[in-house]
Structure 1
């Protein structure tokens, strides 16, 4: 375990150091979210710095490459794909800061392209599942492996981004989920994914120091989609490898809160005849605010739900540990 302490400590320390500096820089160059009383989804009443995503990306990858020296094609492909996800998020944030919206289609195309690149160049994919009745491994057709894997990467990237509606919420959910994926990596003996997961925990904790209510800085779409993408990659490469009928639920539970919430939101929008990709106040955190909870109460309640789901995932993992 000592091999993981330093990556955690360094990623945490760097984020604690650079985030205040990024906050000052964002205000200096006016890279801030402006209050918008007309929007149901904008809850801030004062300008908030919008550069945390820069620290998140570079802190995470600096720590990963420093401690693993992993410059394989696979690692570089994940880096490149995550950078593309981050880049389109930065473009989206820039448009929002300047009072405009980046069209949904280019965002969708570039995010989907990044997910396809990650699966194609890394061979990280959901290949099949173990039959629970005879332990035979059922290999999916290759096309189905790619479709499932791309959908998982794109879906998790999206739901983490959609959960970024209250101070500390998306960062906290990502931190809890990354912690669970770290335990999965340890149990499965995957050192590289262990470094990835624990570095992500450190990055999230460092960010949360300044993003908890009342937030001093935000990560925007760039940071939230990056965290979602990395959680999706880690879970696909770790928890979904040699999946059984039971263990397949481990990553789903680890990321259960944003997944189940956004399934509900999509079904609700379809039922009401609304466009699925147009944001509204359907997410659970907005519904909790509408019920009278404060921001802190809503976030802490959702942390509790997330922790319960992740504990369930860990229990499933430990029950099946002998199979790995």
Structure 2
């Protein structure tokens, strides 16, 4: 028992049998199992309801594909948080309110994406709703503080307050859309959501004031991994707006913390970990502006990084794995920069890679069984 505790201590786990670690583990497993077993039933309902993406020039599917996967991730995420809350209620009232604000904003983003997939909402309307979700976070104390960001000069309050407000809105709206724009190849965003959630979870666990963030990230990571079981190419179901949910939640949780200095410094890590979607969005927007497109976010094309990788590999599976690898390398860099112990980083990277590999293999084997009757 003592040797197990010593090993856990080396991995950054203070007490492997304590309520804190067990609540995180239960949250992750609950989200994983609920999403895993709920997704096939959701797929059947989506087919009956006509919730499907039809084949077109930009999509890879050759037949109608159910697009309600985001609802499954959302359900698994919410159920796991409720279970975690029942096991170990968060004692700090302010943090309780902030967690509720994140969950409410995530709900808003989920249904924004879901409705947009069916009604094709205007970019202006989507932007307004995303800004409102960011404002919801700010009025509940989740706000970036420019003066807490390392290596930047300290500004007077009259300048810092409005600048911090603008930066917070850009942070939430920018990362939400950056993750959404990566959703073009099976498995990419689901894997990205799992990787980033796990990396931020491990990073947040280094701070005593981020217990709520760790639980939220555990729920999101488990739900993304459960969804990925049905989304790795060839997918059985796709997000259908769930990328808004993933991007918003990751952006919002990175603001969850009570220590001003650590909260500011922690923004560097998600920015590095999310470097792939951020760079993708940046190069797409610049490219579209150069071509004279006035509304770069409302003009879809095939200039995204995942499209370019897919053109070279000619394989959705290889494309997803390559982009997972890039995201994981960014995650490793982010953890090391935050000061996470190299042993913890190595174990985390191995666990993440093995988890993705196992789920991808299960999907491939399931696809082989699905094809078998047709080949006989």
TM over 0.5, yes or no? yes
Residue equivalent to 1:75: 99
Question: 1:280-316 CA deviation, whole Å, 9 max, x = no partner?
Answer: 1111011122234311111111111111110000101
1:85 to 2:109 alignment: yes
Q: State how far apart, in whole Å, the 2-side matches of 1:184 and 1:239 are.
A: 15
Q: Match for 1:59 among 43, 54, 76?
A: 76
The answer as to whether partners of 2:313 and 2:319 remain within 8 angstroms in 1 is no
Residue equivalent to 2:254: 235
Q: State how far apart, in whole Å, the 2-side matches of 1:110 and 1:11 are.
A: 27
Matched position secondary structure for 2:206: helix
Q: State how far apart, in whole Å, the 2-side matches of 1:133 and 1:153 are.
A: 21
Q: State the 1:31 CA deviation.
A: 1.2
Question: 1:242-281 CA deviation, whole Å, 9 max, x = no partner?
Answer: 2599754311111111011111111111112123121111
Q: Match for 1:214 among 212, 215, 234?
A: 234
Q: State how far apart, in whole Å, the 2-side matches of 1:262 and 1:24 are.
A: 33
Matched position secondary structure for 2:59: coil
Residue equivalent to 1:98: none
Q: State the 1:171 CA deviation.
A: 0.7
Q: Match for 2:166 among 130, 147, 171?
A: 147
Superposed structure 1 runs of 4+ greater than 4 Å apart: 130-134, 136-140, 238-241, 243-248
1:314 to 2:335 alignment: yes
> How many pairs were matched up?
310
Residue equivalent to 2:220: 200
1:124 to 2:142 alignment: yes
The answer as to whether partners of 1:184 and 1:238 remain within 8 angstroms in 2 is no
Matches within 5 A, 1:39-50: 39=57, 41-50=58-67
Matches within 5 A, 1:232-271: 232-238=251-257, 241-243=260-262, 248-271=267-290
**Structure 1 unaligned regions, length at least 5:** 96-100
- Tell me the TM-score normalized by structure 1: 0.88
Q: State how far apart, in whole Å, the 2-side matches of 1:133 and 1:30 are.
A: 51
Matched position secondary structure for 1:188: coil
Matched position secondary structure for 2:148: strand
1:287 to 2:308 alignment: yes
1:184 to 2:203 alignment: yes
The answer to which of 233-242 and 4-13 deviates more is 233-242
The answer to which of 64-73 and 252-261 deviates more is 64-73
Matched position secondary structure for 2:238: coil
Matched position secondary structure for 1:42: coil
Q: State how far apart, in whole Å, the 2-side matches of 1:149 and 1:216 are.
A: 36
Matched position secondary structure for 2:107: helix
Larger Rg: 2
- Tell me the TM-score normalized by structure 2: 0.77
1:2 to 2:22 alignment: yes
The answer as to whether partners of 1:26 and 1:50 remain within 8 angstroms in 2 is yes
**Structure 2 unaligned regions, length at least 5:** 1-20, 343-376
Return closer, same or farther for 1:155/1:80 CA change in 2, 3 Å cut-off. same
Return closer, same or farther for 1:240/1:267 CA change in 2, 3 Å cut-off. farther
Matched position secondary structure for 2:254: helix
Return closer, same or farther for 1:262/1:27 CA change in 2, 3 Å cut-off. same
The answer to which of 68-77 and 258-267 deviates more is 68-77
